[in-house]
Amino acid sequence: MARTGPQKIPGASQAYFYGTGRYSGSDMEVNCGVAHTTEGRNVPSYNRGAEAPSVTGLPDCKAKKIRWYQHYDVDESARALMNKLGGVETNTANAFQIELVGTCDPKTRDAWVKAGHRQDVDFIYWPDAPEWALAEVAWLVRWLHDQHNIPLTCVKDWLAYGKDSRRPGVTPASYGASPARMSMAAWRSFKGWCGHQHVPENDHGDPGSMNFARVIALAKGDSKPPTTSTPPTKDEDDVALTTAQDARLARVEKKLNEIAAGAAVAPWTYRNPTQDKESRAAGRRIPDMHGRIENLQTSIDALTRAVAELKKGA
């Protein structure tokens, strides 16, 4: 199937583009969109592309804009949906997929607030997203309509995710066998916008009760969002910084593999690369690289403790 229309999103960073490698997708003509939330505060690695959406939106709350990071061409299948054997196609069913960095889970929101992070300042809780954030999403929804004919419509019911501490009588609704989840027949004929919670063969409940009807209304309006996304390009500073952090990541993964194989590994401490000289000189940080390394460091610590416990019991 031939791809038609522009395949690169205006202003979107291509620093984490996976469509030219091992996880390249299939050609398609998008006619629907699926919204996800990352349940995190950084752009994930998506297992180096194996689980990536079409694009990730990273809120910059101070600037009141979303910085878009494109992972696949518009008319190329992404990999953020589960697709079981038999049944229906999901990722390849002409679906454009957006991951919005933040959370739709009130428990996660409450934990972040308790840890000192501020809603709408340090993170977005998408069911209560501020108007500027919805307008930024609307800009992309409108562009996809104008350039690729994805209808400016969305499903009606966006169910709340989990038990909201402010509404103690509410029980989880959007996760699992949700009443909002489409039948296979409905999905096959679907056009417009839905959430992960609506896609068959999937059990995730994101993006919760996000006000996507407001996104559609903003996309239909004549007014533009407060700002247009202009993420930094991958210039020479970015390349140097990425190379340095890739080298660190390789060293961490080597340590992790050594521990998993039962090898004795000397104590080792990770130092955040944003404190390094070359990072300060670059004047910016690659949004997910050091987060990936810190996650691996956590795994190293856990495996080290597990190995020590096993040795005690031997």
pTM: 0.70
Confidence of residue 165 (pLDDT cuts 50, 70, 90): very low
CA torsion sign for 79, 140, 123, 195 is: negative
Structure tokens at 259: 């521990």
- Position 227 scores a pLDDT of 40
The tens digit of pLDDT for each residue in 71-118 reads 999 999 999 999 998 899 999 999 999 999 999 999 999 999 999 999
Q: What is the residue type of 266?
A: A
Of 74, 205, 220, residue with least CA distance to 142: 220
Torsion-angle region of residue 162: left (phi > 0), alpha (psi -120 to 50) or beta? left
| pLDDT for the residue numbered 218 | 98
Are 30 and 96 a contacting pair, CB within 8 Å? Answer: yes
If you average pLDDT over every residue of the chain, what do you get? 81
> Taking phi first (over 0 means left), then psi (-120 to 50 degrees means alpha), and beta for anything else, what does residue 283 get?
left
CA distance 313 to 61: 50
